[in-house]
Structures are given as C-alpha cells and as structure tokens.
Amino acid sequence: MSASPAHTTGTPLAPEFSSPQGAGTDPRAAALVSAQGISKTFDVSAPWLNRVIERKPRQLLTAVDDVSFEIRKGETLALVGESGCGKSTVARLLVGLYKTSTGRVVIDGKDLSELDGPQGAALRRRIQMIFQDPYASLNPRWRVGDIIAEPIREHRLIEGKDAIDERVGALLQQVGLSAADASKYPHQFSGGQRQRISIARALASEADFLVCDEPTSALDVSVQAQVLNIMRDLQKARQLTYLFISHNLAVVHHISDRVGVMYLGRIVELAPKKTLFAQPQHPYTQMLLDAIPDMHMSGRARTPVSGEVPNPLNPPSGCTFHPRCPKAQDRCRQERPLLRMMASGAQVACHLVQD
C-alpha cells in the first residue's frame, strides 16, 4: 500500500496570520491528556468462508503501535507524517471513536474508558473533534442554530429556547460570524465559514480539549490563516488544549507548541516546535523538512522524500524506516529503536542518534 507524502510545500501563510504564544509553552503546566502505550489493531481479514476455502490466514493491521505522549493544558501538540502513518487513528482514539487495543487514554486524570459508563457524560462533554471536511460533518437538513444548539441541549447546559438562542448567537460571533446566520443552512456558507460553524459547535459543550483532524487542509491559504487565527485567539481566551493533525508543515510551524512525527504507526520524534524545525534529529524528520521548497533562496539543497511507505500488513523488522533511510545499518534492520529523551529536549527513536 503506497501513501502520498506530507504536504511540505512551505507555502507562507497570509500576512494577516499571527502566531501568539500559547499557554502550553510553559513546561510546568499539568498534563491534561495522556496517551499511555496506546495501540490499535484492525482485523482486515477476508470473510471466514473465503479464508476456509482459499486457506488464507487472518490479517491484522496495526495502525497505531505503542504510542505515548502528553499534552499539557493550554498547549497545542501537532502530529505530522505521510498519509497512512496513523495520525487520524490516534485522533479517533483520543476522542473515544475507537477503543484502544492496548494501552489507555487519560483525560484530566480520568480513564477514557469511563465514557461508556453513566459517569462519562461530564468527561464526554469536555472532548470535541473538528473534522477535515466541514460540509460532511454538518447536517445539511438542519439550520446552523440547531447544529450548534444540539450539544447544549444534549448536555443540558442551558434551559429555555431564548437562552439557548442567545448562547448560539454569542458562539457565532466568537468565530467571526453573525448571530443572524443561525437561521441559515450549511450549504449557504463557504468552506471557511462552515469550518467556523464546526468550531462553534465544538465550543458549545464548553469543551476544553479539541482534536483537530486536518481542519484547514480543504481551505485556501488566506482562509486557512483566518481560521487558524480564530483557533489561537479562542485557545488564549479559553485556555483550550489542542491535538492538531496536519500534513502542512507551514501550518504546523505556526500553530503548534510541540510536534510529534509519526511513521507507520509509531512516533519517531517528539520535540518542541523550535527545536524540531531548527535541529531535526531523526532521518525521517530531516527528509520531511528537506522537501520544503526553499522560499528564502538560501541555496541549501532540497531532497524530496524518497521511496514509499511499506505495506503496514507486513512492516519491516527493526526500525520500520530502515528501507528508506540513507543511514541505515545492520542494527536498524534487526532491533526496534525506542523513543528516548535526548540532551536537546527532543525524544527520538533512532539508534544512530542515540549512539
């Protein structure tokens, strides 16, 4: 199975884009979200009768393999990597859309498995997701006011139609729309405006942890800047915590506090944004950054990401990146590197870097 490379276009964002420092830059802040050795395996076997007749074994695909990280309150952690690396699966594990095969997710000290119980409503209210395609995630038959009001009614945050309508209008204004837009339908808005509606819906339940699965990839550059500015302003005002999934390294550079690089279901490097972009240590991270076009004409050689992602049904032994790594050695082919803390403050899973 091949995968398309990450968008490393390096296209600068619109001039009006600002990048205020988030509260998550404080390393002493408490961890709001903790992924502890989470893995997710999918059964992609042929139907039972076909396997019996054709004498084929079961096939299991490990989309996420022993991933651990923490996100501090008020921080933005971005996950990047090529298509098929497991970023979106991690996002769905963190909001409870998928159950972990192994490991656990802890939100503010509470195990995410509690979402299934009667006490899970309060925890479920605090976690929301913003999807890649805003039009597909909004009910086309509902008015915008009803879409945003649904979480409020579901969690019984406000009683009374007038009070709910007032709250919906305030949320629309916070994301740069008008309270009068509540009476319209999703098809009457542009893509950027629909994504603003999705953000307003996520905030309606008074959530403090938002999982953003490529929320700006379907938007043009100027609209991306507007949406990202709104997200950062809301984060600063509400002390929101983000997990931000993206292919676009230019967007990641502006929105994130820390960056995790994923390859074939595993995190291979996790570092503060400035450290990762200035001194990438894992060969895969270096390849992703080298593929960014030289917009400043510095003269530094740019090398596109070579090769293709291996078949996840039959991953390579040892370090899964070794078939594409120009520095691979015999040890890389035999022994899986563990994610370890380096002197630079980055966590890297690479034998050569650790040695």
* Structural domain count of the chain: 2
Domain co-membership, 108 together with 155: no
Which residues, at least 6 apart from 276, have a Cβ–Cβ distance to it below 8 Å? 259, 261, 269, 285, 346
d(CA 203, CA 210): 9
CB 244 within 8 A of CB 79: yes
pLDDT at 173 over 70: yes
DSSP 153: H
Q: Is residue 78 domain-shared with residue 213, that is, in the same domain?
A: yes
Three-state SS sequence of 95-152? HCCCCCCEEEEEECCEEHHHHHCCCHHHHHHCEEEECCCCCCCCCCCCCHHHHHHHHH
Residue 183: domain span:
134-207
148/263 same-domain check: no
pLDDT given at position 291: 76
Which CATH number do you get for residue 96? 3.40.50.300
Contact in structure between 94 and 35 (CB atoms under 8 Å): yes
What is the percent of the chain with per-residue pLDDT over 90, rounded to a whole number? Answer: 60
Is residue 327 assigned to a domain?
A: no
Q: What is the tens place of the pLDDT at every residue in 200-235?
A: 999 999 999 999 999 988 788 888 888 999 999 999
- Interatomic CA distance for residues 229 and 235, integer angstroms: 10
Q: Are strands 266-272 and 258-263 parallel, antiparallel or unpaired?
A: antiparallel
pLDDT for 218: 77
Are residues 266 and 202 located together in one domain of the fold?
no
212 in the same domain as 109: yes
What's the distance, CA 239 to chain centroid? 18
272 and 160 in a single domain? The answer is: no
- In this structure, what DSSP letter does residue 345 have? S
Of the two residues 124 and 138, the one the predictor is more confident about is: 138
1 and 74 in a single domain? The answer is yes
With 0.75 as the threshold, say if the pTM is over it: yes
Last-in-domain residue among 157, 187, 207: 207
Residue 146 — pLDDT band, cuts 50, 70, 90?
very high
Contact between residue 265 and residue 85 where contact means Cβ atoms under 8 Å apart: yes
- 141 and 203 in one domain? yes
Judged against a pLDDT cut of 90, whether residue 318 lies above it is answered with yes
Is 212 in the same domain as 95?
yes
**Helix then strand then coil, % of the chain, to nearest 5:** 35, 20, 45
**CB neighbours of residue 176 within 10 Å:** 16
Same domain, 110 and 3: yes
Residue 338 is assigned to a structural domain of this protein: no
In a domain, 52, yes or no: no
Q: Which residue has the higher pLDDT, 14 or 299?
A: 299
pLDDT on residue 137: 87
- Within this chain, do residues 82 and 188 fall inside the same structural domain, yes or no? no
How confident is the prediction for the chain on average, in pLDDT? 86
Domain endpoint, select from 187, 207, 227: 207
Distance CA 203, CA 150 (A): 12
- Would 347 be classed as within a structural domain? no
Note the pLDDT tens digit of each residue in 249-303.
888 998 999 999 999 999 999 999 999 999 999 999 998 888 776 656 555 666 6
Pairing of strands 127-130, 102-107: unpaired
35 occurs within a structural domain: yes
- Domain for residue 120, yes or no? yes
Q: Which two tokens stand for residue 191?
A: 């893509």
For residue 236, with 0-12 CB atoms within 10 Å meaning exposed, 13-18 middle and 19 or more buried, which class applies? middle
pLDDT-derived band of residue 183, with 50, 70 and 90 as boundaries?
very high
What's the CA gap between 147 and 241, in Å, rounded? 23
d(Cα 25, Cα 76) in Å, to the nearest integer?
9
Residues 157 and 200 in one domain: yes
Q: Exposed (0-12), middle (13-18) or buried (19+): which is 125, by Cβ within 10 Å?
A: middle
Handedness of CA 133, 229, 212, 288 (dihedral sign): positive
248: which 2 tokens?
């676009």
Rounded CA-CA distance 124/178 in Å is 28
- Residue 279: the pLDDT is 92
Helix (H, G, I), strand (E, B) or coil at 311: coil
**DSSP-derived secondary structure for 164-182:** HHHHHHHHHHHTT--GGGG
Q: Find all residues with CB under 8 Å of 7, minimum gap 6, and list them.
A: 217, 247, 248, 249
60/21: higher pLDDT: 60
Q: Is residue 297 part of a domain?
A: yes
pLDDT of residue 30: 77
What's the rounded mean pLDDT across residues 160-188? 95
Q: Considering the domain boundaries, does residue 112 fall inside one?
A: yes
